[in-house]
Structure 1
Amino acid sequence: MKNESTTIDVHGESSSAMKGKAPLIGLATSAGSGGYKRGLTIFDFLLRLAAIIASAVAAATMFTSDETLPFFTQFLQFEAGYDDLPTFQFFVIAMSMVAGYLVLSLPFSVVTIVRPLATAPRLLLLVLDTAVLVLNSAAASSAAAISYLAHSGNQNTNWLPICQQFGDFCQKTSGAVVSSFISVVFFTILIVLSGVALKRH
């Protein structure tokens, strides 16, 4: 008997055909990554708008926190204002700088939306956001300490609480402090988003 061999022809794809398909896979991956990064950059832009509002409200509220107690004569008046305390003055200046920086950072955020795969503007925003976050945190923390003293006083140093007399002043300063901490939260999220975007590049 003769041994009969069966041959099965396997039609393999030519190397040229496989080379033609490889770039398509790369393009699909790049397009998916670009769409993901574009979503992050749009969210970044919206967060910056929200942070502008929070920091500007904090600065404006503290700046307009003056209150004068009514008395029978104009010669006996007690007034409380942000400019009476250096800490509150620093708060107004710092939060104004934070709001100004956020406004100036909007064009760079738009660039990251147009070019979501670009790393240079994202890295620049990450560095600057971190620096401004430190300033924002310092202003919010120092103002929170003074606001606490205004509400509770300190018996050990005979510092009396002034919020019993200057209710409107303390209400505005407390609102400004809360708004500044909201801005801190927005900055923290912005920094995390920038880190995630750079990591997935």
Structure 2
Amino acid sequence: MSTAVDVPESSNVEKGKAVAADAAARPGGSKKGLAIMDFILRLGAIAAALGAAATMGTAEQTLPFVTQFFQFEASYDSFPTFTFFLISMAIVGGYLVLSLPFSIVTIIRPHALGARLLLLILDTFFLTLAASSASASAGIAYLAHNGNQDTNWFAICNQFGEFCLASSSAVVSAFVAVAAMFLMVVLSGVALRSH
């Protein structure tokens, strides 16, 4: 007579096997999540970059008093740095719009190495362009608000408050785009590292 007892396999082991099989059936789960986050950040960066360009492009103010020979006016094209800002943010916004199909490819095919690498390289380049134009314009906006006593540069925002508000808002929007693009570069790096 045998005293052996049959012990059924633990249900926890079976659940663990089922979870592992489910993860194997869904390839690229975390990479797909990173790609979706990249797409959302890309949409936010588009809005911020194009908003910054539009705000700077419409920043203009004319003082109500006029002399016989000229009128006091401030606009973005009065400052070469703001002109550079407008052009570069429009280029960055255009690039981000054109990069949306590649971002969608990384969602559909999370293991597509070529699309992810292309986005990483181009995002880094355009991040540099956006950061440089936003930083240069922030310096000009600071001088417009505060002036510089040592060089006899006077603050113009006391007279041109509306123009200064619009140009400062554009610079803040550009830094939002820069932050979103920085996160996009980090996400692309994380997705490529896990290959």
- Which TM-score tier does this pair reach, normalised by the shorter chain? 0.7 to 0.9
Kept in 1, the 8 Å contact 2:62–2:71? The answer is: yes
Structure-2 residue corresponding to 1:171: 165
Alpha carbons of structure 1 residues 32 and 162: separation in structure 2 relative to 1, 3 Å: same
Who wins on radius of gyration, i.e. which is larger? 1
Which residue of the other structure, out of 136, 140, 145, is the alignment partner of 1:142? Answer: 136
Deviation at 1:74, TM superposition (A): 7.8
Is 1:82 matched up with 2:76?
yes
Q: Over residues 124-176 of structure 1, what are the superposed CA-to-partner deviations in whole Å (9 max), with x where a residue is unaligned? A: 00000000000000000000000000000011110000000000000000000
* Equivalent residue for 1:46, pick from 40, 44, 54: 40
Question: 1:57 — aligned with what?
Answer: 51
Offset at residue 98 of structure 1 (A): 0.3
Q: Does the 8 Å CA contact 2:66/2:72 hold for their aligned counterparts?
A: no
Q: Where does structure 2 lack aligned partners over 5 or more consecutive residues?
A: 1-17
Over the aligned positions, Cα root-mean-square deviation in angstroms equals 1.9
The residue that corresponds to 2:4 in the other structure is none
Q: Which residue of 2 aligns with 1:194?
A: 188
Structure 1 segments unaligned to the other structure (5+ residues): 1-23
Q: Is structure 2 residue 106 aligned with structure 1 residue 117?
A: no
Q: Aligned partners of 1:125 and 1:145: how far apart in 2?
A: 30
SS for the counterpart of 1:70 is strand
Post-superposition offset of 1:77:
2.4
Identity of aligned residues (%): 58
Residue equivalent to 2:6? none
* CA shift for structure 1 position 35: 1.3
Change (3 A) 1:42 1:73: same
CA distance in 2, matches of 1:95, 1:40: 25
Q: Secondary structure of the residue that 1:80 maps to in structure 2?
A: strand
1:54-79 CA distance string (max 9 Å, x none):
00010000010010011267865210
TM-score, normalization: structure 2?
A: 0.86
TM-score for the superposition, normalised by structure 1: 0.83
User: Which residue does 1:7 correspond to in 2?
Assistant: none
Matching residue of 2:8: none
The residue type equivalent to 2:106 in the other structure is T
